[in-house]
Amino acid sequence: MAKILIVDDEIGIRELLSEILRDEGHDIQLAENAAAARAARHASRPDMVLLDIWMPDTDGITLLKEWSAAGQLTMPVVMMSGHGTIDTAVEATRIGAIDYLEKPIALQKLLAAVKRGLQRPTTAGSAAPLTLAAFARSLPLRELKRRVDQIADSSRVLLLRVAAGSLAELIARSVQPAGSAWLDLAAVTAPLDISQLQGCGGGVLYVGELGRLSRAQQKNLAFAVERLERYDLRLVAATDRSAEALLAEGWDEALLARLFEVSLAPPSLADVRDDLPELASQILVHLAEGGEVPLRRFSSAALNHLRTLPWPGGYLELRAAVKSLALGTLEEEIGPAEVRRLLAPMPDSSAAGIQFDQPLREAREAFERMYFEHHLRLEGGNMTRLAEKTGLERTHLYRKLKQLGLQAGRRHEEV
């Protein structure tokens, strides 16, 4: 017996399809519009969805895109329409629908489509990366997506002029074609070779902050930029520094000219503060879809509290906080008390146990412990980003954390 969600604004069609599929032994849930479908999708995790295209609040194609962008298209979806076109069917299939049924729906076609869908292997736990397309209800993020898409149509290089609170990685993920490779050049310390670029063909190369690249990594970047066209690659790089500042630090002038040829100044989290509750909610859903956290939801009060916080670390800090909240909360709902407990301001030096009458070595060790605890939390335990943030070589970083008695497992190595 499978759980099947039927989404259609016509009550007669919902009841007819429900009756047929219940007779086949399936567990049926009904939704009359996209809002109800979203709630049902999140609450019951259906094995399959029958989705009408023409609905009063949000059309089925838009909802399908939203699920795909948020990594929620982990179940087979069959589209339904009484006045669709071939173009609509093709678009739905391209987004991820497995079939298209024309109304009035013949009984045998319905049963055959359901059978095919339920025989497909599940993709649960393999959610696609979160992209800007997941935030269709945010006007600033919709506009940002249009700008990014427009640039990506004409340029293989996009430089993000960012300050604190950056959305850089979310933007870069939005440029990445579905199912393609992702390579963070800041995580590559050895010389880059042709085989690595070939393996990333059709994907995205990413640099979170140009100013943190070593000389060797700058050479890797130059090597990759020269071969973007050959291997069908895109480069998204971010920096809060000017070309002149990087040139003064010894960067190659020709490389900088190529990097700064097309740039964009995206909004920060502070600029989209009103949309932060949606960002946090979508991140939480995406993490749950990927099997990284248990099923949780935010209370309205918790979301409002998140909106009031500064988020100097931007999207990555918000994602790490949402993940920590989901893993650390015992109840299904994450409330404001959990948010305050996890994201309370860092204590001052005296509260943290740093006393000015201590020997210098002990005071330094206390500060270092507090410093690394802060950045471990900020980076969600990701050792690659922690090494970049603190400027330490990885072996030295592991040794330092061990000396301070802090945990650093290799399970955090994802980038």
pLDDT value, residue 374: 79
Comparing 307 with 366, the larger pLDDT belongs to 307
Q: By residue range, what is the domain housing residue 161?
A: 132-264
Of 264, 295, 327, which closes a domain?
A: 264
Q: In which band, very low, low, confident or very high, does the pLDDT at 363 lie, cut at 50, 70 and 90? A: confident
- Average of per-residue pLDDT values in the chain: 87
Total domains present in the chain: 3
The dihedral sign for the CA sequence 171, 382, 222, 231? negative
Say whether pLDDT at 257 is over 90: yes
Of 244, 264, 284, which closes a domain?
A: 264
Residue 10 lies in a domain: yes
Of 208, 229, 264, which closes a domain?
A: 264
Residue 298 lies in a domain: yes
- Do 97 and 164 sit in the same domain of this protein? no
Residue 127 lies in a domain: no
pLDDT value, residue 368: 86
- Do 63 and 137 sit in the same domain of this protein? no
Residue 366 lies in a domain: yes
Report if pTM > 0.95.
no
- Do 68 and 176 sit in the same domain of this protein? no
240, 210 in Cβ contact below 8 A? Answer: no
Whole-number Å distance between alpha carbons of 205 and 197: 9
Say whether pLDDT at 127 is over 70: no
CATH number at residue 141: 3.40.50.300
- Do 187 and 207 sit in the same domain of this protein? yes
pLDDT value, residue 412: 40
pLDDT value, residue 175: 93
Residue 65 lies in a domain: yes
Say whether pLDDT at 264 is over 90: yes
Say whether pLDDT at 415 is over 60: no
Residue 83 lies in a domain: yes
- Do 137 and 113 sit in the same domain of this protein? no
pLDDT value, residue 238: 95
- Do 156 and 207 sit in the same domain of this protein? yes
Comparing 92-96, 205-209, 301-305, 344-348, which segment has the lowest mean pLDDT?
A: 344-348
Say whether pLDDT at 146 is over 80: yes
- Do 255 and 349 sit in the same domain of this protein? no
Tell me the pLDDT tens digit for each residue of 10-57: 999 999 999 999 999 999 999 999 989 988 998 888 999 999 998 888
Residue 204 belongs to what H/E stretch?
strand 204-207
- Do 146 and 164 sit in the same domain of this protein? yes
pLDDT value, residue 122: 58
Comparing 49-58, 187-196, 219-228, 399-408, which segment has the lowest mean pLDDT?
A: 399-408
pLDDT value, residue 408: 65
- Do 386 and 278 sit in the same domain of this protein? yes
- Do 8 and 40 sit in the same domain of this protein? yes
pLDDT value, residue 411: 41
pLDDT value, residue 413: 44
- Do 236 and 288 sit in the same domain of this protein? no
pLDDT value, residue 410: 45
The dihedral sign for the CA sequence 400, 402, 408, 409? positive
Say whether pLDDT at 165 is over 90: no
Question: For 94-119, what is the mean pLDDT?
Answer: 90
Say whether pLDDT at 125 is over 60: no
Comparing 122-131, 171-180, 211-220, which segment has the lowest mean pLDDT?
A: 122-131
Residue 124 lies in a domain: no
Residue 126 lies in a domain: no
DSSP string, 224-244: HHTTTTTTT-EEEEEESS-HH
158, 235 in Cβ contact below 8 A? Answer: yes
DSSP string, 327-344: HH--SSEE-HHHHHHHSP
- Do 111 and 8 sit in the same domain of this protein? yes
Question: For 248-275, what is the mean pLDDT?
Answer: 93
